[in-house]
Chains A and B, each alone.
Chain A
């Protein structure tokens, strides 16, 4: 009797077992006139600029699902290492997971070399991973940091190409932001000037691009200091409602009520506020 191999150990990486089923489902759905749920993209305006003492990274905070806002205040500037941060545009899951994977690998690398990580290393690792997946990982990144060789800024495209430049923009609002940079960028700006320039570039994306919106986040990286400013500018506040929409008790009809007392002791209490405005 032939032996059967039962469970295979879970190995890391992507699982493509559903791709055939998905292709069949997609064909069926389009025949019926519906479309499959799309991966959430971040719309987005992200940018970075090199100034005298370091780099300034900026991002908006809107995440869209189609043309509806899914998250009004998401964080697009991701941590890579203590001296390197990365903004992400494109598919939200891809930017989040890619930056986390490279951050983890970079930490191990830094422990192995015994030196603080270099921005060029993070750039190499990101581009080699994205090229390996031939553009299927939809992550467009702006990578910036300060290492022993000075301040560096890279833009990384989903297919794996990179550009090392003094100022970069990515995302659906990149044209609006680049227009501001091309007008006002100068070499060796002061920190205040650079922050204002990035703020204005992101604001151009927020107001002129429908895929970007809400607030402006900044990250200022210098040799000995990181300023993660979230939010740097609340460019858009929610309108104030004049009516009160609270429901009185009993508005939802109660059919039956059953109280079962549980004998528990309170060990830990954690309060997390949610946006009820």
Chain B
């Protein structure tokens, strides 16, 4: 059915002619949703992410975890634009192999973090649209978390949330792990069981209010004995 716009006022069809330059826009980025979270303990580190991949109002996949295993002692969580997440993790894997072959040892978590910063900054003027959080063990066997922005600024943290529900999770972690805004509370060190429990509860709350977070939660627990994975169902609506 032809729309009324093709007909002029006298009933005849409008003439087609060049009316001047028209700006068309193509965006190379899209937002695929997802939330990642990392917590560092005394001798462990936890990296958790939801598994929903979305675009606009639709869901692409309910089983697309955002944690990627890099080495036996390091896991990275990437959320944002899925295309860039995939390419970035491929590049990191390649660089890890190159380092292993030239230096005859596995990269440490701190070294991976420093390298990722330079990889991200090399694309300063056409960035990787990815929010990264690295979780792993440092050389002394203590838990380490490194959080990044899309162009490579990073710092070492005790805990960090990134991705679509990060603004909801971060204040809760500040209160429960950092004991912020609380008085007369004993500053007990975080045990592994309590940390896993906290991560699950915090994602349950995020799935309630953020439409991009849900389906399932993938938790990777890094200890000196290796990496253990756990999957927990979340709301599917």
Binding site for B on A (CB under 8 A): 43, 62, 64, 67-69, 72, 172, 206-214, 235-236, 238-243, 245, 247-248, 250-253
Bound together, the chains give a CA A209 to CA B58 distance in angstroms of 6
Could you tell me if A69 and B210 are in contact, using CB atoms closer than 8 angstroms? Answer: yes
Tell me the smallest distance from the CB of B49 to a CB of chain A, in Å.
16
Contact B237 A213 (CB under 8 A): yes
Q: Is A206 within 8 A of B212, CB to CB?
A: no
Q: Which residue of B lies closest to A60 (CB)?
A: B237
A277 to B210, CA, bound (A): 17
> Within 8 Å CB of B16, what residues of A?
none
Residues of A within 8 A of B197 (CB): 242-243
Give chain B nearest CB distance to A118 CB in angstroms. 31
Can you give 11 contacting A-B residue pairs, CB < 8 Å?
Answer: A43-B211, A67-B211, A206-B237, A210-B56, A210-B211, A213-B237, A239-B204, A241-B200, A241-B205, A242-B201, A251-B185
Chain B, 177-205, CB within 8 A of any chain A CB: 182-185, 194, 197-198, 200-201, 204-205
- Taking CB as reference atom, which chain A residue is nearest B54? A210
Task: Point out residues on B near A: beta carbons under 8 Å.
Answer: 54, 56-59, 164, 176, 182-185, 194, 197-198, 200-201, 204-205, 207-212, 234-237
Contact partners of B59 in chain A: CB under 8 A: 208, 210
Contact A243 B198 (CB under 8 A): yes
By the criterion CB–CB under 8 Å, are B211 and A251 in contact? no
Please pick, from A211, A252, A253, the residue contacting B57 in the complex, using a CB distance under 8 A. Answer: A211
Contact of A69 among B56, B182, B183, B209 (CB under 8 A): B209
Would B212 and A67 count as touching, CB distance under 8 A?
yes
Q: By the criterion CB–CB under 8 Å, are B237 and A172 in contact?
A: no
The 7 residue pairs across chains A and B that have the minimum distance between CB atoms = A213-B237, A239-B204, A210-B211, A241-B201, A253-B183, A236-B237, A250-B184
* Contact partners of B205 in chain A: CB under 8 A: 241
Complex Cα distance A236/B185, Å? 35
**Cβ-defined contact, A69 with B194, below 8 A:** no
Contact, CB under 8 Å: A239 / B235 = yes
Contact present for B57 and A236 (CB under 8 Å): no
Counting chain A CB atoms within 10 Å of each CB, the highest count among B164, B183, B207, B211 belongs to: B211
With A172-B57, A207-B236, A208-B59 already in contact, the answer to whether A238 and B184 are too (CB < 8 A) is no
A240 nearest CB neighbor, chain B only:
B204
Asked if A69 meets B211 with Cβ closer than 8 Å, knowing A210-B58, A251-B185, A252-B183, the reply is yes
Q: How far is the CB of B153 from chain A (nearest CB, A)?
A: 19
Q: Is the CB of A64 within 8 A of B211?
A: yes
Residues of B close to A240: CB separation below 8 A = 204
Residues of A within 8 A of B234 (CB): 239
Chain A residues, CB < 8 A from B235? 213, 236, 238-239
Q: How far is the CA of A210 from the CA of B209 in the complex (A)?
A: 11
Q: Which of A172, A239, A251 contacts B184 (CB 8 A)?
A: A251
Contact of A211 among B182, B209, B210, B211 (CB under 8 A): B211
CB-nearest residue of chain A relative to B164? A67
Which of A69, A172, A209, A253 is B208 in contact with, Cβ under 8 Å? A69
Q: Contact at B182–A247, with CB atoms within 8 Å?
A: yes
Q: How far is the CA of A206 from the CA of B236 in the complex (A)?
A: 8
- Smallest CB separation, B185 vs chain A (Å): 6
- Chain B residues closer than 8 Å to A207, beta-carbon distance: 236-237
Interface core residue of A67, A212, A213, A245 (most chain B CB under 10 Å) = A67
A68 to B198, CA, bound (A): 22
A64: nearest residue on chain B (CB-CB)? B211
Of all chain B residues, the one with the shortest Cβ separation from A176 is: B58
Considering the chains assembled together, what is the distance between the CA atoms of A240 and B207 in angstroms?
Answer: 12
How far does the Cβ of B82 sit from chain A's closest Cβ, in whole Å?
A: 16
Q: Which residue of A lies closest to B210 (CB)?
A: A68
Closest to B185 in A: A251
Docked pose: A68 CA to B207 CA in angstroms: 10
Across the interface, name the chain A residue whose C-beta is closest to B236. Answer: A207
Shortest CB–CB separation between residue B191 and chain A, in angstroms? 12
CA–CA, A245 and B208, complex, Å: 17
Q: From residue B39, how far is it (CB to closest CB) to chain A in Å?
A: 14
Please measure, in the bound complex, the distance between the C-alpha atom of A214 and the C-alpha atom of B200, giving whole angstroms.
20
What residues of chain B lie closer than 8 Å to A214, measured between beta carbons?
237
Q: A252 to chain B: which residues have CB within 8 Å?
A: 182-183
* CA distance in complex: A250, B54 (Å): 43
A239-B204, A239-B234 known; A210+B212 contact, CB < 8 A: yes
Minimum C-beta distance from A203 to chain B (A): 9
Q: Write the nearest CB–CB distance from B75 to chain A, whole angstroms.
A: 23
Residue of B nearest to A239 (CB): B204
Which residues of B sit under 8 angstroms from A68, Cβ to Cβ? Answer: 209-211
